[in-house]
Structure formats: structure tokens, C-alpha cells
Amino acid sequence: MESCPSIKNILLLDSEGKRVAVKYYSDDWPTNSAKAAFEKNVFTKTQKTNARTDVEMVMFENNIFVYSFVQDSVTSFKFLLSLLPYLCLAILSSTAEITMLENNIVVYKFVQDLHFFVTGGDDENELILATVLQGFFDAVALLLRSNVDKREALENLDLILLCLDEIIDGGMILETDASIIAGKVASHSLDAAAPLSEQTLTQALATAREHLTRSLLK
């Protein structure tokens, strides 16, 4: 009997490796210092300047490609271009990339000044991890109205945290469809205060944020 896929953490970091929003679902990192160390390590390992020194993997059209650039990057590029043009396109566009860290598979994506990460065990299916990553990113893009950057993320941090709650519960994958995730977050926001039927979605989300802030300050 196959076990259900399990997510160990989802990280949203800025371009300096600092936290924007993180959720851990595993005891692999029992302390805050252990979590901070992992975030530093994953940020350092996945930097673009270092990503071509080892064998790397990239997701493209539901396939996993393994690649490595040698010292003569021009020769490497020409070889790949002549062999598999679409593979080069996948590598350059970096729809989603995969690396190994501390016996874990990390799937990641960089957009402007935000870095999205999803971590699973080394026995997890990379396609599933990539699907979770894409669902998270697309849901955030919907909630932020395509303004996916650190400033917008911090201003709408409560929505992003709600988004994570709709995707994962205790490591179990609940939903990966971005439109469903964003819709549930909006629904929770609408339920946060009583008669909101005449308010716009933006007003409803603002009311939900205020309600959440007040509850956290109590």
C-alpha cells in the first residue's frame, strides 16, 4: 500500500533569503535555529550564480530533465541546443527547478524578488512537489492580482498564510488547483465579518485582514 505524498515545508523567501512566509510540517527541524539554518542553506544552494556548478534538474511539460554545464558554457549550450532545443528552452525559462538538500527534494521557483520553495523527502514524487509549488505560486498570483513581489506579499501576508492552510494540512496535500485555493481564501475572508454581500472582494479581503490582526493582538 503506497503512502500518501507528504510535504515537509513550504517557504517563501525574499531575494536576500529572509522570511516572507514559511510553514513547516515535519519534525526534521525541531527548533527555530534549525529552521533558519535550513532556509539559509536552501537559499544559498539555489542561487542562480551557483546553480550551474552541479548536476541539476528542471521540470518541463511534466518531464524531469537532468543537466549540467561544464566550464565551457558556450560549448555546453551549443551541444544542448543542437540536441534538444526544447530542453534548452526549459532550462532557460526555469519554470520549476529541483535540487537535493539534506536528503530532501526541494522544488523551487524565483519570481522577481520572491523565492518559492516546496520540500519533500528524497522518496517523494518530484512531479507532485512541482504541482504543489505551481499551485501555491498561481494562487498567490491570483490573490495579489499578478503583482507578485515582496512588497505586495508583505501587505497581504495574512492571505498568503491562509493560502498555505488551504494547500497543506499537517503535511498532507489538500488542494493544488490555484483557482480553488484562491476562492476558498476569498470565501474565508467573506465569512470573517457578517453582512458583506454588498462589499467588493477587495473590501471583503481588507475587512478579513483587520479581523485577523485584531484577533492576533488579543
Model confidence pLDDT, tens digit, residues 103-112: 999 999 999 9
Residue span of the structural domain in which 133 resides? 9-217
Tens digit of pLDDT for each residue in 29-66? 999 999 999 999 999 999 864 433 344 555 555 555 55
Which residues lie closer than 8 Å to 90 by C-beta, 6 or more apart?
58, 59, 60, 61, 65
Q: What's the pLDDT at 187? A: 84
Residue 176 lies in a domain: yes
- CA dist 78 and 4 (Å) reads 41
Q: What is the CA radius of gyration of the chain?
A: 19
Model confidence at 198: pLDDT above 60: no
204 domain-assigned:
yes
> For the chain, what percent of residues have pLDDT higher than 90?
58
Beta bridge partners of 109: 116
Q: What does the angle CA 40 – CA 174 – CA 104 come to, to the nearest 5 degrees?
A: 30
118 inside domain:
yes
Q: Which residue has the cell 491570483?
A: 142
Residue 9, CA atoms < 13 Å, CB-side half-sphere: 24
The CATH number linked to 109 is 3.30.450.60
- What's the domain count of the chain? 1
**If you search the block for the grid coordinates 497581504, which residue do you land on?**
156
pTM of the model: 0.69
pLDDT at 184: 93
